Structure 1
Amino acid sequence: MNWKKTKTLLIFVFILVNIMLVFTYIDKVKKSNINDIGKENAVNFHQEGIEIPDKLPSVKNVKMQLVTARSFDFTNFAKSHSDVTRTKSGEAAKGNLSDEIDVGNDQYSDLKSYIQKNVYKGDDYELSKIDDNEVTFEQTYNNYPIMDNVKARLKFKVDSDGKTSSYTQTAMKSIKPSNGANNDKKQVNSAKKAIEQLYFNRYLKRNDEVRNARLGYYTVVEEPNVQVLQANWEIKVNHKGKITTYYVEAASNNPKINKKD
């Protein structure tokens, strides 16, 4: 046995083992730093004195993309429905109910039934807002609302006795993914991340309360008859008794924020 060669081989193996250990250690340090950065970026809202909902909508495996839509012309629909008239441009319809519907005491089952049977594409609308003199529904696409859009809305006027007998409607048609090579579906960021963006951009202050967050489509480009809609989080914030609505891009690493007072 050549002891000198064996000794040299053992030293070489020892050096290789040490090199592997060094690289393993560096890799662990890098992963640890990444985890630490993630923890640092996560906002402790309770510690910051900001209240957010205990339960936020889940977006696991939810992917969305830009879509385009056109305004619907109610001219032909009005011709075939005696209780519906259209506006001069045809982009809105006014309907009269043959029998009043009682919407007092939060009873909306009869109203929803009427919408499904009598309103143009009634199944595509969902309840959005309730006021003393108005009940508002929003049009949806793929089960997500088209938010804050006067061209995709259904409103019922409520009289002082809590009954409604008329409505106005606008609608979008030909809703489909926008053309373009860079319009692949993207994973939607969580509602909490969207709320954190408000905090990082100083829209959220101590003692603020985030009332709710919902995912939907928000108009980013608007032409006379065509709109481009993008996935956004709608977040309502109570600041000193005043409610402010924010729209945060939902599938962007550097989301744009729109503020609506």
Structure 2
Amino acid sequence: MDWNRTKSIFIFVFLILNIFLYWLYLDRYNEAQSVEILGEKTIEARLKDDNITYGPLPNSNESATYITGEVHIFKNSAPDDNQKVSFTDETHTQISAVFINPVKLRNINDDASLIDFVHTNVKNGDSYALWEVDREERVAVFFQKKNNRIFYYNDSAVLKVHWNMDNEVTNYEQTMIDNIEEMEQQETVIPPLQIFQTLYNKTLLKSDSSIAQVKLGYSTFSKLDKTQVLIPTWEVQVKLSDGEIEEYFVDAIDGKIIEIQGDKQQGEEEDWGVE
């Protein structure tokens, strides 16, 4: 065997292998650098690239705290002589009130008319915020609030007002949470732009859409018999290019996307940091 020839072949093969590995290293390195550069793009830039617009945002240094409350037990008494109240369940946690003489709304096309009616005719009416009006079905939905922060889709904190074809309120149903207390420790909430990052990472923000509303409220964290714990929650409303409105809810403390359907909520762990 010609050992010198064999040695030369091994040296040549290892040289080619080293060149290939070095080329592979450079290729992977350049690819990684490219990914890193793309990853450094801010959420503002990403939204701009996808033509997703938004207006002025809430204070990014806003703080909030968990709150607790108890489901209200109603008494069999009406706010005034023009109302007849009955219970809709055995626990007396929901009432149905019927007006003996229906109450005329000032202007059914003006939301302020509905708000004024609730403040005047419903127990603790000023603790509810107008959420939705369906003029075809002639019903307005109000959600309870605390410090102007709404309790989103909480079946124990909702008011539904009904009116007839003459724009007179005929009846309403009400539930309520009372004895509301804030926990001592204040938490700095996740800034709105990082909430956008959470939704963007999950492809929930679609191109050519507009983020129409960003508000801080509360959603249900847990229920213990008649006691509830509510967590600070970002509400994000997005208007799509076809005019449809989509709404999303994100835990304002730990960044979980919250699926809310009526009073059923499910949390999904999310990475809300900007990549």
Q: Please give the TM-score of this superposition, normalised by the length of structure 1.
A: 0.72
The answer for the alignment partner of 1:250 in structure 2 is: 252
Are residue 127 (structure 1) and residue 127 (structure 2) matched? no
Shift of 1:38: 11
- Please say which of residues 96-105 and 84-93 is displaced more in the overlay: 96-105
- 8 Å CA contact 1:101, 1:111 repeated in 2: no
Identify if the C-alpha distance between structure 1 residues 176 and 38 changes in structure 2 by more than 3 Å, giving closer, same or farther: farther
Please list every run of 5 or more consecutive structure 1 residues that lacks an aligned counterpart in the other structure: 1-35
- Please say which of residues 74-83 and 194-203 is displaced more in the overlay: 74-83
Provide the rounded CA distance (Å) in 2 between the counterparts of 1:85 and 1:235: 36
- 8 Å CA contact 1:245, 1:260 repeated in 2: no
Shift of 1:79: 9.5
Identify if the C-alpha distance between structure 1 residues 237 and 112 changes in structure 2 by more than 3 Å, giving closer, same or farther: closer
The answer for the alignment partner of 1:113 in structure 2 is: 116
The answer for the alignment partner of 1:59 in structure 2 is: 59
SS in 2 for 1:202: coil
Post-superposition Cα deviations, 1:131-153, rounded to whole Å, max 9, x if no partner, equal 12211111111221111112111
Number of aligned positions between the proteins: 218
Are residue 74 (structure 1) and residue 77 (structure 2) matched? no
The answer for the alignment partner of 1:140 in structure 2 is: 145
SS in 2 for 1:192: helix
SS in 2 for 1:59: coil
Provide the rounded CA distance (Å) in 2 between the counterparts of 1:172 and 1:166: 21
The answer for the alignment partner of 1:49 in structure 2 is: 51
SS in 2 for 1:68: strand
Post-superposition Cα deviations, 1:235-259, rounded to whole Å, max 9, x if no partner, equal 123456454321111133xx00023
Identify if the C-alpha distance between structure 1 residues 40 and 119 changes in structure 2 by more than 3 Å, giving closer, same or farther: same
SS in 2 for 1:175: strand
- Please say which of residues 141-150 and 222-231 is displaced more in the overlay: 222-231
Identify if the C-alpha distance between structure 1 residues 108 and 211 changes in structure 2 by more than 3 Å, giving closer, same or farther: closer
The answer for the alignment partner of 1:186 in structure 2 is: 187
* Residue 160 of structure 2, aligned match among 151, 155, 159: 155
- 8 Å CA contact 1:244, 1:260 repeated in 2: no
The alignment's C-alpha RMSD in Å is: 2.9
Identify if the C-alpha distance between structure 1 residues 244 and 87 changes in structure 2 by more than 3 Å, giving closer, same or farther: same
Post-superposition Cα deviations, 1:194-236, rounded to whole Å, max 9, x if no partner, equal 1222112322232333232221011121344222111111112
Code of the residue aligned with 2:49 in structure 1: it is: Q
The answer for the alignment partner of 2:3 in structure 1 is: none
